[in-house]
Copies of this chain bind each other. A is one copy, B any other.
Amino acid sequence: MVAGPLPAPSGPGKDRLRLWIRLLRASRTIEAELRERLRQEFNTTLPRFDVMAALYRAPEGMLMSDLSRFLLVSNGNVTGIIDRLVSEGLVMRARRNGDRRTSMVRLTEEGSKTFAVIAAAHEKWVGELLGNVSENEARRLTGMLTSFRSNWEGRE
């Protein structure tokens, strides 16, 4: 998927394929860099960061199913990540509302403080890594990505 044929492909549809390859390479490269820094600087991982970021926006907590929908990952996946975050004392499961199937998951106080620190560094890193993109260009690119995505996402 990441492969871009050296003899550059041409023909109908090739431009979109090339776009996809670039998109994927760009996001993989950035992702790898962020993962490495999270590990080195904070001894954590990208999935944990993602989960904590989602929970940080929801002080009242989230259902497991909301989390997996929001993060675009499977149900079982979230269970494991939350398990680990709970064992680290950063997240808590609160079995509190009427429905005993569900549990509200949220950051502990420590989790919230920890995340705030990591998030600040993360934002700085992203700023650096995308430093050659002007703010204007960033907004334009964002717009393009948004519009194309919303047009087909969730179809199947």
Q: Which residues of A are interface residues toward B (Cβ below 8 A)?
A: 1-3, 5-6, 13-20, 22-34, 46, 49-50, 53-54, 56-57, 70-72, 123-124, 126-133, 135, 137-139, 141-142, 144-149, 151-153, 156
Q: How far, in angstroms, from A33 to B26 measured CA to CA in the complex? A: 18
Q: How far, in angstroms, from A5 to B54 measured CA to CA in the complex? A: 8
Min distance, Cβ A42 to any Cβ of chain B, angstroms? 14
Taking the full assembly, how many copies of this chain does it contain?
2
Q: Provide a sorted-by-A list of 7 A–B residue pairs whose CB atoms are within 8 angstroms.
A: A16-B130, A18-B142, A24-B31, A25-B72, A26-B149, A28-B72, A129-B152
Taking a contact as CB atoms under 8 Å apart, the answer to whether B27 and A138 are in contact is no
Q: Is the interface of A mostly helix, strand, loop or mixed?
A: helix
Taking a contact as CB atoms under 8 Å apart, the answer to whether A133 and B16 are in contact is yes
Q: How far, in angstroms, from A139 to B18 measured CA to CA in the complex? A: 8
Residues of chain B within 8 A (CB-CB) of A123 are 13-14, 17
Residues of chain B within 8 A (CB-CB) of A148 are 26, 130, 132-133
Closest to A20 in B: B126
Closest to A27 in B: B27
Residues of chain B within 8 A (CB-CB) of A133 are 16, 19, 144, 148
Report which residue of A57, A72, A131, A141 has the largest number of chain B beta carbons within 10 angstroms of its beta carbon.
Answer: A141
Min distance, Cβ A23 to any Cβ of chain B, angstroms? 5
Q: How far, in angstroms, from A5 to B46 measured CA to CA in the complex? A: 17
Min distance, Cβ A108 to any Cβ of chain B, angstroms? 18
